[in-house]
Structure 1
């Protein structure tokens, strides 16, 4: 409920293989630099989110934290995190895997990097100059948010306010100019999520300490 990133693991040998899934639409759209976005583009993005989050693995977005989790809350009930894992997926990037000191594997549902990017609304924008391509997205990509000063591990009131402002701007009157309505570039999102340098350093140290504990006591 606090938006903290986590997993719910289960022993691999206690699960059964999943039936093959129909592939979701995860091809990153390519647009030109002068492309004019409309609300129809946002609607199409939402449909792609709905397709991904309807899969057996969609619950993984709720456990990812950050803006991906906030997107998922519009499609998936929060108690879906308690529903699994209960199958083994055919692709390695669809499964989170951990081992204990005895080599026993524990797994959880996972989404691929491409699926997480789609949930953020990623586009590749072709600028036409020396084949220069930049990335823009409706919401910040996971790795951008993770390394930002706005990431304080849990979802905060400040982030909820930013989310509401973003959604209100996208759905506002299309006849009124508003650059915040369009997908933003990576640097634009970094600036909006910059936060404090102390918060970024604290998060980096926390990640290192957590990994050290995991490797020393739990990981094979």
Structure 2
């Protein structure tokens, strides 16, 4: 993060390929490879590497491609990709991801339905929102998370898995959601109590 004043520099476009697909579209065996190509090309942009700092599913999706190239601070392009909204921190700026960039990293597609411009949203991987509201998000990457990730990746590569809707992702990621929320809530309360003693 840099200590700096806010400026109003327009955010450059970083995603040029549309993720909209026509009605009746079905991914073929090459679609996942095409997704990986688009994801990896996007990860070459310095500011997109902030994805690994966000943890969770974005971290895991990007981990293999970035390997040891994990950012230790903002990119050299931070002034173009920082959050400049009125409620953003005023003293420091840091790289952010656009919704289009997150969609590209997660392999999101907007497929037209037979109802005009209405679309169904499908994805290879759950979005960060779906992940953080699931029963698998413990605040860190667990052995169970890795098993779920590797199982899905294997099924995709073998042609046994396809794109999922948000509803299907919620069902698949439910696991022990209530217990997980209780656990994280308890940890949060204990942390607040500990900090208040300092």
- Residue 118 (structure 1) shift: 1.2
Residue 27 (str. 1) matches residue 13 (str. 2)? no
C-alpha spacing 1:44/1:98, structure 2 compared with 1 (3 Å): same
Structure 2 segments unaligned to the other structure (5+ residues): 192-198
1:85 and 1:139 map into 2 onto residues whose CA distance is 26
1:38 and 1:138 map into 2 onto residues whose CA distance is 13
Per-residue CA shift, 1:145-187, capped at 9, x if unaligned? 1111111111111110111111111111x4xxx3xx2111111
Counterpart for residue 69 of structure 1: 59
Counterpart for residue 200 of structure 1: 181
Q: 1:10 aligns with which of 2, 23, 43?
A: 2
Matches within 5 A, 1:143-162: 143-162=129-148
Q: When you count strand as a share of all residues, which structure comes out higher?
A: 1
Contact kept in structure 1, 2:83 and 2:94, CA below 8 Å: no
C-alpha spacing 1:83/1:184, structure 2 compared with 1 (3 Å): same
User: What is the TM-score with the length of structure 2 in the denominator?
Assistant: 0.78
Aligned residues: 188
Counterpart for residue 113 of structure 1: 99
Matches within 5 A, 1:205-216: none
User: What is the TM-score with the length of structure 1 in the denominator?
Assistant: 0.71
C-alpha spacing 1:58/1:92, structure 2 compared with 1 (3 Å): closer
Bigger shift: 146-155 or 194-203?
194-203
Counterpart for residue 142 of structure 1: 128
2:181 and 2:59 map into 1 onto residues whose CA distance is 20
Counterpart for residue 196 of structure 2: none
Secondary structure of residue in 1 paired with 2:65: coil
Structure 1 segments unaligned to the other structure (5+ residues): 1-8, 211-220
C-alpha spacing 1:94/1:58, structure 2 compared with 1 (3 Å): farther
Per-residue CA shift, 1:119-159, capped at 9, x if unaligned? 11001122314765321100001111111111111111111
Bigger shift: 183-192 or 105-114?
105-114
Residue 40 (str. 1) matches residue 43 (str. 2)? no
